[in-house]
């Protein structure tokens, strides 16, 4: 027998206010089969027509049901059907949820339209959870939104890769925002050039960027609403950027650092990823590898390595960056991957000096081998969890080889021998506004080695520092 009670009998007693409609209670057996439930509900609605419009939603639950009108604004169209399921209800509705749970009622939302179709999918979702009282929600997963922080040579190449990928990936916003440090190029703002001509004419000329890369001169505007932050800036600017972002990022945001370098203070050595993590209170992964930007921009085949702490985030970054020509592997070793990316630039300075001195390939191979051994020793000395296999990834031996034969650090070090000019002058003359990371990292590494009393244990790193900062001649690079 169907039982009908008035609003005052039930809802005022348990829910604290009178409803707009009578409360309708159905026996459990009518809710087992979707078609039976749909027919019963349709008959009830005919007998008790709703006060609200036909598009209003109603509470409908098992084992019994109560029906109340809800605002249209709580509805969202369920993909693939003409029925409307509600998004999570506002605060007042949640209080009704709590009262319903006290009654043993499991409310979820359907529209009247579903009664004329099939209620079984709704029942199935409830029963599939073992009779769970959690409300059904068809809200789509959060769409990932990417922001690149940095727009130099490498940053622009990464923007190209990411923008091409997000339009193919489900649950990713197709727009990729890129924060650009505003500069005037040939009388025009660089952001305007990027957004109209789709080319970073200063740092990545003759390479077209996808139309969905949008340049922003204001950091907070670029990062607004972003769930994935990609840091591609010189490491000396990281703290200032983090100060601007602090308190202005989403709680679910994650970051990845493509920054080569370390931070050294009186308290000791700190990874750049840890600087970001500690300042912004979010998980931070890293990406490093044998990746000369100009070659990646031409889509020449190469590999790279993502180092992660949280596996789920490592998978997301791998999907975001992986292409047929830019193969991404992932390893649970943030410290190892990041230190490889920083320390290889010091080795590249040494290799460039050897090239400038024309000592030949044997000497260069020896410098590379010694450098790789010191990279491994340094990494393990300061981070016990660094894995040996990391040095066989793209971020390890492959990146050392590539940087020692084709990177900017090798190029400037060779010019240092050939011209006699200082590294500072050559940086301005040869790098078109880019920063020379190897010399700065050599100084920071020396600082921490001096603090720890370990200078003599790293002869190659020490010689690079002394040539760069203490006036030793380039030929002293082999005095190790």
Question: For residue 189, with 0-12 CB atoms within 10 Å meaning exposed, 13-18 middle and 19 or more buried, which class applies?
Answer: middle
Cβ atoms of 368 and 405 closer than 8 Å: no
Round to whole Å and give the CA distance between 396 and 372: 8
Distance of CA 106 to the CA centre of its chain: 37
Which of these is catalytic: 266, 344, 387, 411? Answer: 344
Round to whole Å and give the CA distance between 438 and 415: 14
Dihedral (Cα; 270, 274, 276, 280), 10-degree rounding: -130
Nearest to residue 321, comparing CAs of 169, 205, 206? Answer: 169
First to last CA, the chain: 95
Which strands, in side-by-side order, build the sheet including 106-110?
69-70, 57-62, 106-110
Cβ atoms of 254 and 280 closer than 8 Å: no
Round to whole Å and give the CA distance between 393 and 331: 9
Round to whole Å and give the CA distance between 154 and 294: 8
The residues that bridge with 130 in the sheet, in sequence order, are none
The DSSP secondary structure of 296-341, one letter per residue, reads: HHTT--EEEEEE-SSHHHHHHHHHHH--SSEEEEEES-HHHHHHHH
Round to whole Å and give the CA distance between 318 and 306: 7
Q: Residue 175: in which H helix or E strand, if any?
A: strand 172-179
DSSP secondary structure code for residue 324 in this structure: S
Round to whole Å and give the CA distance between 154 and 151: 7
Round to whole Å and give the CA distance between 306 and 329: 6
Round to whole Å and give the CA distance between 313 and 321: 12
Peptide bond preceding 63 in cis form (omega within 30 of 0): yes
Tell me the torsion sign for CA atoms 448, 450, 452, 456. Answer: positive
How many residues comprise the chain?
480
The angle, 0 to 180 degrees and rounded to 10, between the axes of the packed helices 459-469 and 437-452 is 120
Residue 160 is among the residues annotated as catalytic for this protein: no
Nearest to residue 306, comparing CAs of 320, 292, 324, 325? Answer: 320
Q: Residue 287: in which H helix or E strand, if any?
A: strand 284-288
Catalytic residue ranges: 344
């Amino acid at each position: 027998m169907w039982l009908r009670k008035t609003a005052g009998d039930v809802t005022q007693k348990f829910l604290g206010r009178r409803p707009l409609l009578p409360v309708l209670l159905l026996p459990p057996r009518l809710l087992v089969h979707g078609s039976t439930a749909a027919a019963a509900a349709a008959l009830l609605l005919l007998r008790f027509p709703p006060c609200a419009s036909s598009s209003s939603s109603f509470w409908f639950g098992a084992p019994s049901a109560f029906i109340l009108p809800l605002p249209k604004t709580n509805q969202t169209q369920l993909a693939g059907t003409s029925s409307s399921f509600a998004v999570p209800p506002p605060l007042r509705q949640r209080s009704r949820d709590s009262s319903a749970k006290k009654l043993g009622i499991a409310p979820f939302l359907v529209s009247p339209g579903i009664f004329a179709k099939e209620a079984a999918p709704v029942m199935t979702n409830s029963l599939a959870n073992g009779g769970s009282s959690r409300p059904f929600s068809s809200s789509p997963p959060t769409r990932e939104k990417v922001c690149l922080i940095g727009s130099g040579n490498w940053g622009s190449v990464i923007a190209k890769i990411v923008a091409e990928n997000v339009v193919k990936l489900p649950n990713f916003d197709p727009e990729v925002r890129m924060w650009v440090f505003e500069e005037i190029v040939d009388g025009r703002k660089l952001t305007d050039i990027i957004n109209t001509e789709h080319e970073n004419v200063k740092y990545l000329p003759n390479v077209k960027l996808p139309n969905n890369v949008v340049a922003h001169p204001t950091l907070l505007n670029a990062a607004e609403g972003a769930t994935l932050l990609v840091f591609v800036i010189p490491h000396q600017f990281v703290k200032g950027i983090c100060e601007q972002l602090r308190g202005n990022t989403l709680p679910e945001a994650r970051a990845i650092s493509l920054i080569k370098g370390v931070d050294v203070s009186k308290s000791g050595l700190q990874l750049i990823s840890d600087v970001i993590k500690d300042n912004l209170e979010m998980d931070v992964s890293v990406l490093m590898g044998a990746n000369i930007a100009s070659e990646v921009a031409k889509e020449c085949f190469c590999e790279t390595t993502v180092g992660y702490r949280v596996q789920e985030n490592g998978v997301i970054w791998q999907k975001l960056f992986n292409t047929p020509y830019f193969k991404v592997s992932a390893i649970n070793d943030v410290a190892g991957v990041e230190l490889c990316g920083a320390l290889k630039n010091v080795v590249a300075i040494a290799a460039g000096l050897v090239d400038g001195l024309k000592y030949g390939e044997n000497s260069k191979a020896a410098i590379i081998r010694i450098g790789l051994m010191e990279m491994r020793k340094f990494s393990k000395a300061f981070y016990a969890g660094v894995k040996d296999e990391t040095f066989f990834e793209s971020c390890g031996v492959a990146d050392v080889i590539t940087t020692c034969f084709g990177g900017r650090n090798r190029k400037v070090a060779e010019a240092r021998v050939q011209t006699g000019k200082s590294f500072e002058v050559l940086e301005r003359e040869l790098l078109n506004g880019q920063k020379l990371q190897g010399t700065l990292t050599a100084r920071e590494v020396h600082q921490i080695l001096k603090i720890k009393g370990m200078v003599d244990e790293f002869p190659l790193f020490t010689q690079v520092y002394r040539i760069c900062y203490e006036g030793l001649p380039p030929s002293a690079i082999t005095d190790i």
